Every structure is written in C-alpha cells, then in structure tokens.
Amino acid sequence: MLFNSVEFLFLFLPITLVLFHFLRVRISSQSALYLLICSSLFFYAWWQPIYLLLLGSSILVNFCIANAIYRYRKSWLTILGVCLNLAAIGYYKYSVFFVNNLALLYGSNWQIEQILLPLAISFFTFQQIAYLIDVQRHQVIEPSFSNYVLFVCFFPQLIAGPIVHHSEMMPQFRQGLQISSRHFAVGFSIFCIGLFKKTVLADGIAVYANPVFLQAEQGVALDFFTAWGGALAYTFQLYFDFSGYSDMAIGLALLFGIALPLNFNSPYKALNIVDFWRRWHITLSRFLRDYLYISLGGNRFGFIRRYSNLFITMLLGGLWHGAGWNFLIWGALHGSYLVINHGFTHIRQQYLPFINDGWFAPIAWTITFVAVVVGWVFFRAESLDGALLILSAMTGANGISLPAGLVAQLDFLSPLLQWLNVKPYLGGGMLFVETWVWITILLLLSVLLPNVLQLFYTQLPEQTRKGVTVAHSAIQWRPSLTWAAIISLLLIIALSTLGRVSEFLYFNF
C-alpha cells in the first residue's frame, strides 16, 4: 500500500488511527501496540501476502537468535545470525546478478529465474543485523516479542525507512505511548508536507526525467541541454520522492505518538561530499558507519586503511541499493569522492590556508552538486551504456542544440549562440521550457527553503532531532491560522494528484 494511494489515505490510515486511539484511551497502551502490529502486517501483506511469511520468519528467527546471543554470549551465534540475514537478502536480491555475471565470466549459459524482490527486505534485514550486533556488543536485549515485532515492522518506516535503531524505538514502546494534540498537529502537518513533496514535486518533475533516460537506453544521441535536463530532473525527483516519503513516515509515526529519526537534512545544500552524506539518507549513513566502516577498522589503522575502508563501505552501500553494476559504480564513485574530499581537507588545512570559506563556498557547492548529479546518472540509468551516453552528452560531446522556436525568441543572443555553435531543432520548445522551469524551481526550493527539521525544530521530539545539527531558520512553524492555511493548501493540492498514483523510488531498494 502506498502512502499516496486512496486506500491508504481514506481507509487504512483513518481506521487504524481511530481504532488505535480508542484502544489506547479505553483499554490500554499495550492493546494499541498490538493493533499497530496487526495493521503493520496487513499493510505489508497488501503488496504480496505470501511474503508476510518471509517477514514473519525473519522476525522470529532473529528474535530467537538475539535471545540466544544474549544468553550464551557466543560470537558464532552473532555470525550465524548475520549470515542467515545476508543469505536471505543474497538469495532474493543478488542471486540473479551474481549467477548472470559468473555465467558471463565463464562463458556458460547458467540461468536462474528472476525472483520477485520482497518489499523492504533491505530495510528490515539491516535493522535486524544491527540489533544482533548490538546484542553481542553491548549486551542489550528486548524481552518483549511484541515490541520487537513492532520495532521491525512499524508500517510508517517498514517499506523505505528511516532505518531505525532499536535504542530509539524500544524505550518508546516500553514507556507507553503519550500522545497530545501537539503530536497530532505536528505529525499531520509534516505528513502533508511530505505528501506534497512526493505527489506534486517529485512526480511533477519525473515526466521530464524518465523519457531522457529511456532515450539513452535506446541509444539515441542526446544533446547537451536534454542530457543535463534529464539528469537534473532525476536529481530533484529522487530527492523530493525519498525525502517526501521520509517526512510522511515521521509525520505518520507522530500521529501514533512515536518519534522516528530524521533521514534528510537538505542534502543539496552540502558544500562537500562528506557533508552530503551527513545530510542524505542519514539513517543509512549511520548504519554503514557503525556496522560496516567501524567493523572494517574505521580510521584506526592509518590513512590508507581508512580510505580503503571508506571506499569499501560506499561500494557495499551502492550494492545495498540494488544488484547491478551501475549501483556498484555509483557506490565506487561516492567512495572515491569521499576519499578525495578527505584528502583535500587534509591538504587544505596543511598547505592551502588562503582558501577562505566565504569565496570558496559557491565553488565548493557547485563541485559537490555536479559530482552528486553525475553519480545519480549511474544510479538511475538501467545500463552502463545508457549512463555513459548521458554523461557524454552532458560534456557537450554531441553538441548543443535548442528548439528553433526558442532560438527565434533569443535573437538578441545570436552572437553568443553562434559562438557556442548552438544548432536549432524543430519542435520541443514547450518541453524544453517546462523542464528548465521545473528544475529552477526545485533547485531554489531545495537550496533556499528550510527543511522539516528546521521548520519544526522546537516542536519535534528529542529522538527525531538527535545527532543532527541544523542551522536556525527564521521561518518556524507555529500552530497559527496562517500555517493552517498553508498546510491545508499543500494537502489539497497533494490530494488532487491522487488520480495518478505512482510508486516511491526507494521501494525498489
């Protein structure tokens, strides 16, 4: 079930909310938690009921292994648990990729049938691996099975995160759920903002990204502006899609009195790649740092090991997103970016003191943003050839063209257009203008406007703000008439897009 579907918005959510609050007030917090578990399992089963068995058995097995680790304190149990999780995800997500590549390597015709990827497997597997490792590392355990089930399958975060940590969730379940009208007002407002970001902004710009990538896959030689238009459109589609989903998850959880961690902190405002990864998919970065990078040795064995660990972490982070060479390349690219970034920071501190933050900031922002856009081309393209075709067009290798109608309107720029050897082409003027208007608006929104954390900073629970630093914003949400009007308007516009339900991009990972 999608958050932006009629079934969810007008049936599932209202019914669950009403029953939840009825049970919490009239019976007990525990009964309300049971309801949340049932509704979360129903929410998951809506997609493919059969995979409920996979989710259920994964929860059961991990719960038992965690208890065994806690009781017997044997590291082989942790290894067994992690291996079982990796085997499950390996089978469902990576087996086809590995078999196909092995077949290619050995020139054989081995083939296995394409397996339907269980929804959210990457998310619930990683959450549970983290739990097993922490039981081993810190000797913490959750004795209540129901709390554990809810920790894994709580529906607002089950499908596409944020990847929650047991230390953030279990105490909330144990304390009983304290819900006030503030939770409701803030949660609902954040949900509306997220819904607007997904349905209006992300889906709105998607129509300008998808055809460009499709053309590239078909081998069409793209021109400079078309390639950049497609790459930038996808850059904003992905951000507003995923951050919209995360906002909706945070808002929904608050409606049930539960605080989820922040997942996005205006990543496109980042001035370097290290900063970008502190702002983009924060809970995944945290997981990769705590359970992969640190496990590999982190920065404890000199800079070469540190950089290799960083690179390997990002490479595997890329593979986490999908079984394909493009994801590996994307991960490797970001691993390299991080290595270069750390290296440059070191050199700058030692030898380049004249670089001043003031004048360097726009340059740093541009370099970071372009590097991220280049990475997204690999992330989005279906094949390596498609990605390379777009990137080559982005360098101007296929020349620069503009719609003839636009060239006619830009007569006053004709010397410049001639100097740049800009060629006119027939038709497509409206599409060109719309693409770039969308890109400009979304760029301004992502760079100039405060994010949800900044807007609701004083209203959000501590768990959501934890570990994230944000600049103070002059624009602050208040429970006022003006904000009620603004949020209502966003919701109405978002609701008006329901006729064209589209999936969230991160459901694929």
Q: Is 475 in the site for other proteins (CB under 8 A)?
A: no
Rg (CA), the chain: 24
10 Å Cβ neighbour count for 251?
Answer: 24
417 touches 407 (CB < 8 A): yes
Does 493 bind other proteins (CB under 8 A)? Our answer is yes
Shortest distance (Å) from residue 481 CB to other proteins: 6
Residue 188 lies near other proteins (rule: CB under 8 A):
yes
Q: Kindly report whether the peptide bond that precedes residue 261 is cis, defined as omega within 30 degrees of 0.
A: no
Verify binding: residue 179, other proteins, rule CB under 8 A: no
Contact call for residue 182 and other proteins (CB under 8 A): yes
φ, ψ dihedrals at 326, nearest 5°: -65, -35
Q: Which residue has the tokens 């919209």?
A: 244
Residue 271 tokens read as 């001035």
Q: Binding residues for other proteins, how many (CB under 8 A)? A: 32
**Alpha-carbon gap, residue 206 to 226, rounded angstroms:** 14
Stretch binding other proteins (CB under 8 A), from 34-42, 97-105, 298-306, 482-490: 482-490
356 binds other proteins (CB under 8 A): no
Tell how far CA 328 is from the center of its chain.
Answer: 17
Instruction: Tell which one of 426, 448, 474, 475 touches other proteins (CB under 8 A).
Output: 426
Q: Are 223 and 401 in contact (CB under 8 A)?
A: yes
Stretch that binds other proteins, among 19-27, 123-131, 181-189, 369-377 (CB under 8 A): 181-189
Residues numbered 200 to 259 that lie near other proteins (CB under 8 A) are 200
Shortest distance, position 196 Cβ to other proteins, whole Å: 10
Question: Quick check: 492 binds other proteins (CB under 8 A)?
Answer: yes
Select 3 or 92, whichever has its Cβ closest to other proteins.
3
Rounded CA separation 172/147 (Å) = 10
Residue 457 Cβ, how far from other proteins at the closest point, in Å? Answer: 17
Given 491, 504, 506, 509, the residue binding other proteins (CB under 8 A): 491
Nearest partner of 482 among 199, 180, 181, 189, judged by Cα: 189
Which one from 321, 334, 342, 346 is the annotated catalytic residue?
321
Q: Which is nearer to other proteins, 331 or 403 (CB)?
A: 403
**366 to 405: interface string for other proteins, x by CB under 8 A:** --------------------------------------xx
Smaller CB separation from other proteins, 96 or 431:
431
Instruction: Check: CB of residue 249 under 8 Å from CB of residue 2.
Output: no
Helix 325-351 / helix 357-380 crossing angle, nearest 10 deg? 170
CB 6 to other proteins: min, Å:
8
Beta bridge partners of 446: none
Question: Token pair of 249, please?
Answer: 């998850």
Is position 321 annotated as part of the catalytic site? yes
Q: Which two tokens stand for residue 431?
A: 């599409």
Q: Write down the least CB distance from residue 149 to other proteins, Å.
A: 31
- Contact segment (CB under 8 A) with other proteins among 26-34, 98-106, 219-227, 494-502 equals 494-502
Looking up tokens 């050839």, which residue turns up? 385
Query: Is residue 458 part of the contact set for other proteins (CB under 8 A)?
Result: no
Tokens, residue 233:
């459109």
Closer residue to other proteins in complex, CB, 174/182: 182
Read off the tokens for 141: 């355990």
Closest approach, Cβ 152 to other proteins, in A, equals 31
485 binds other proteins (CB under 8 A): yes
Sign for the pseudo-dihedral over CA of 71, 72, 75, 79: negative
358 exposed, middle or buried (CB, 10 Å; 0-12, 13-18, 19+)?
exposed
Q: For residue 481, state whether it binds other proteins (rule: CB under 8 A).
A: yes
Identify the residue among 295, 345, 440, 496 touching other proteins (CB under 8 A): 496
Q: Which residues contact 27 (CB under 8 A, 6 or more apart)?
A: none
Beta bridge partners of 425: 403
Near other proteins by CB under 8 A, which window of 174-182, 228-236, 284-292, 379-387? 174-182
* Residues classed as catalytic: 321
- Would you tell me which residues interact with other proteins (CB under 8 A)? 6, 180-182, 184-185, 188, 199-200, 404-405, 408, 426-427, 479-481, 483-485, 487-489, 491-493, 495-500
